[in-house]
Amino acid sequence: MAGFRTARRILVGGAALAAAGWALRDVPAELGVRPLTSGPERAARIRRSPQFRDGAFVNTMPEGTAMITTPPVGLLGELAKDKELRRPPGRIPVRIPPADAPPADGVRAVWYGHASTLVEIEGRRVLFDPVWSRRPSPTRLVGPKRHHEPPVGLGALPQVDAVVISHDHYDHLDLATVRTLIRTQKAPFLVPLGIGAHLERWGVPAYRIVELDWDEEAVVGGLRFVATAARHFSGRTFFRNDTLWGSWVVAGAAKRVFYAGDSGYFEGYKGIGAAHGPFDLTLMPIGAYSPAWPDVHMNPEEAVNAHLDLGGRLMLPVHWATFTLALHPWSEPVDRLWREAKARDVRIVVPRPGEAVDTAAAPAVDGWWETLG
């Protein structure tokens, strides 16, 4: 009997080790590549960048940026309190996105959750920061879990004209999603300078990678893409700021869209609006803010300020609802946004994940998140 129990423990332990090994098998690839070691051409471009100083990318706007290096004192205690408030009180309603052709002369958007959004502009499709994994983490064993499933599987996405990445944090650049898109899509990846090194390691062909520094632009699929500034940071390991972060302008013949990525508020939004706006639609992050990192994630009121600086006509909030990445209550970002938008007469739309929004006929905000549970 004792021998049987020992054998069973060995089998169980071996199975657990095998499962852990399977789950951790992609961690080295997940960590990415230090781009200065990825080839002389990319390294030379990085060193020439006005955003690259003393071996790392920096925020060049005059406002100071507080970098997060160690967890704030008391963070673990705070994380243990009021956990239920940081989760949705009920099942998040998910919609099946439309399968029809994109509007030939307008703008339509489908928010899939967190920052992942499909924007259809003048008949072209642009996919921003796609993350379909269960956790934004280098391993499936740890990290915040999704609060809702993606509205559609990656293989069921329509063919897109471009995949656009804002920076290399796990909740915006996902290895498993990229590997699937290599097989299921033909579109190029437009990324800030340095991120191409990660993509190359993951199997994206070089001809499908377009790397841009701030204020550089490329024409893809008949649309003009401009890499613009953001106030943030980067890193998939303990090495910070090896790759650049940014926001994006997407311009058609008549319609324009702005995607902020992750950013703290800064005065440069006025310059982006003057140079590239006004915008028919802005995708603005409203969640995961904290007094511990005020310079790298804007709060909802600051998102409204940035939207107005940009000359935005309709604002779609992103970076909320899907993952818990900060201490604030789950619905606080959208509650504050709705209140601020009404006070300042700003047009916003708050779709359910998967729900399509046409900027020409945007639905009124109905407070769907207030009815959960």
Dump pLDDT digits (tens) for 103-125.
Answer: 999 999 999 999 999 999 999 99
71 pLDDT higher than 60: no
Task: Look at the block and give the residue holding tokens 């998040």.
Answer: 92
Which pLDDT does position 333 carry in this prediction? 98
30 pLDDT higher than 60: yes
Q: Considering the entire predicted model, what is its pTM?
A: 0.91
67 pLDDT higher than 80: no
Peptide bond into 333 cis (omega under 30): no
* Average pLDDT of every residue of the chain: 91
Strand segments, DSSP code E, in the chain are 52-53, 56-57, 107-113, 116-121, 124-128, 162-164, 189-192, 209-212, 217-220, 223-228, 247-251, 256-259, 281-285, 315-318, 356-358
Which pLDDT does position 65 carry in this prediction? 55
pLDDT per position as a tens digit, 145-161: 999 999 999 999 999 99
pLDDT per position as a tens digit, 159-207: 999 999 999 999 999 999 999 999 999 999 999 999 999 999 999 999 9
Read off the pLDDT band of 9 (50, 70, 90). Answer: low
Which pLDDT does position 193 carry in this prediction? 98
Which pLDDT does position 1 carry in this prediction? 53
Which pLDDT does position 283 carry in this prediction? 99
How far is it, in rounded angstroms, from Cα 133 to Cα 145? 9
Q: How far is CA 29 from CA 140, 211, 250, in A?
A: 14, 20, 30
Which pLDDT does position 195 carry in this prediction? 98
Which pLDDT does position 64 carry in this prediction? 61
Query: Dihedral of CA 264/337/317/290: which sign?
Result: positive
Provide, rounded to the nearest whole percent, the portion of the chain with pLDDT above 90.
Answer: 85
Read off the pLDDT band of 82 (50, 70, 90). Answer: confident
How far is it, in rounded angstroms, from Cα 28 to Cα 139? 10
What average pLDDT does the segment 228-240 reach? 95
8 pLDDT higher than 90: no
